[in-house]
Structure 1
Amino acid sequence: MLKEMLGFYMNCDPHWTSYISALLVPLVAIFGSYIAFRQWRTAQNKLKLELFERRLKIYNSATSFISSVMATGKATDRELHDLIVGTKEAKWLLSKDIAKYLDEELYSKGVDLQCFAAELEGVPISQARTNTVHEQRDIKKWLYRQYGIIDEKFSKYLQLSH
């Protein structure tokens, strides 16, 4: 009888596999949650990187326009077109102030510079020609100063901080 009683108690004790299987379910849930969290973080970082790249294209379009004007002294139709096409998404990816600056100031100065260059063609040396050259000089100086201003305006949007 004692043997039967001991055998009964021995059979009632849970086997070590029961403990493992009981712990396995919460461990799998915790591990699955960790994987889901890491996937969410990866998606967030990917979004930041894609947004950074699109904003950087706008920045590069603006600075490329200025560099081209500084190198040639002229704003061609092609350069103005590239500026418009390259910065058209600024109102959605950056602030409205930056979009306004790119459209109403940078582009406008490029058009003014282009118009002044057209006015100079075939104009003899005179006070009007001198005034137009001075206007061109002022616009080129303004454009040169825009490197720092563009960096300041874009710095908030071109950060990859975590």
Structure 2
Amino acid sequence: MTITAPWAQAISTLIVGMSVAYIAWRQWQTAREKLALDLFDKRFAIYQTITQYYYPSQFVVDTRPDKEELLNAVRASTFLFDKRISQTLVDVYLNEEEATINNQLLNYAFTQMKNYMHFDKPLKRKAFKEEKPTLER
């Protein structure tokens, strides 16, 4: 039977504790990256649906979503984007026939949506630099 020195036990305990802390930190990083990827996929699906609906000529295949798919994308934007973006998309959806207003609103919404879709920095969003166009009738 060997008797180890107290300092050897302390060092081994410290090494095991540091290893456990590193593994926990890496798991946290992995979970954060997975969240970023999941959010990116969902946000990009909304962005793509809205883009295909309002600008179908930009796509090779005519796969314009129907009105119900667009409404589902606008509703989902409430949970995945900032309040200003989702409200802008609702405004565009409700005032679909007014093309000039919608172009301004869509450009604003697309710019802000792109700010949200940075995969490398999921929880740090760029500040809103652009003012939202107003609905003038």
- Which residue identity does 1:103 align to in structure 2? V
Structure 1 stretch displaced more, 62-71 or 94-103 = 62-71
Cα distance, 1:98 vs structure 2: 1.6
Work out whether 1:40 is the aligned partner of 2:5: no
The structure in which a higher percent of residues are helix is: 1
- Which residue identity does 1:51 align to in structure 2? L
Superposition pairs of residues 2-41 of structure 1, within 5 angstroms: 18=5, 20-41=8-29
**Aligned residue in 1 for 2:115:** 156
Cα distance, 1:147 vs structure 2: 6.1
Equivalenced residues, count: 115
Cα distance, 1:22 vs structure 2: 4.0
TM-score when scaled to structure 1?
0.57
Work out whether 1:79 is the aligned partner of 2:38: no
**Structure 2: runs of 5 or more not aligned:** 122-137
**Structure 1: runs of 5 or more not aligned:** 1-13, 113-137
Where relative contact order (Cα < 8 A, 6+ residues apart) is larger, the structure is: 1
Q: Aligned pair in 2 of structure 1 residues 80, 94: CA closer, same or farther (>3 Å)? A: same
Distance in 1 separating the partners of 2:120 and 2:76: 22
**Aligned residue in 1 for 2:131:** none
Larger gyration radius, structure 1 or structure 2: 1
Question: C-alpha root-mean-square deviation of aligned residues, in Å?
Answer: 3.0
Contact residue 87 and residue 102 of structure 1 kept, 8 A:
yes
Contact residue 49 and residue 70 of structure 2 kept, 8 A:
yes
Match of 2:47 among 56, 59, 73: 59
Q: Report sequence identity in percent.
A: 23
Cα distance, 1:150 vs structure 2: 3.5
Q: What secondary structure is seen at the aligned counterpart in 1 of 2:87?
A: helix
Contact residue 52 and residue 160 of structure 1 kept, 8 A:
yes
TM-score when scaled to structure 2?
0.66
Cα distance, 1:88 vs structure 2: 1.2
Distance in 2 separating the partners of 1:90 and 1:82: 12
**Aligned residue in 2 for 1:99:** 86
